[in-house]
Amino acid sequence: MAVSSNYLDYVLEQLSCVGPVTSKRMFGGAGIYLDGLFFALVADDALYFKVDDSNRADYEAAGMKPFKPFGDESYSMGYFEVPIEVLEDRDQLQHGANESLDVARSKRPVQKSKKKKTRR
């Protein structure tokens, strides 16, 4: 699951179309974040966007594969590979990244507000 520095730098530069993205190396790959929201990952010099039922069919129709952290025989995660033509086209990339960000936002746990207990 290695990621070359050159590829990661390229991906981050391309994804700057959605804002100030950052990366965090993990398990040989890299997580991609915007405002602390994990919406993409890079593994084996391939970019993967977070998906759900709202956008998964687009990736499947393009023949893209899900991210499987331990090879073809392992389970798949909620990320699909981004086609290279999308990565190279800023308009398409921005659209796909924004969809992925929407998915990540919808999966974010709801923060429960802590109510103060009143003593009687």
CB 26 within 8 A of CB 59: no
CA dihedral of 41, 44, 46, 52, whole degrees rounded to 10: -50
What are the chain's domains? Answer: 5-107 (3.30.1460.30)
**pTM, entire model:** 0.83
**pLDDT for position 118:** 55
**pLDDT for position 28:** 78
**pLDDT for position 39:** 96
**pLDDT for position 26:** 85
pLDDT in tens, the chain (120 residues): 578 899 999 999 999 999 999 999 987 789 999 999 999 999 999 999 999 999 999 999 999 998 877 666 666 678 999 999 999 999 999 999 999 999 999 976 655 555 555 555
Q: Which DSSP helix (H) or strand (E) runs through 79? A: strand 79-81
Helix (H, G, I), strand (E, B) or coil at 49: strand
Residue 52: is it exposed, middle or buried by C-beta count within 10 angstroms (0-12/13-18/19+)?
A: middle
How far apart CA 52 and CA 104 sit, in angstroms, is: 9
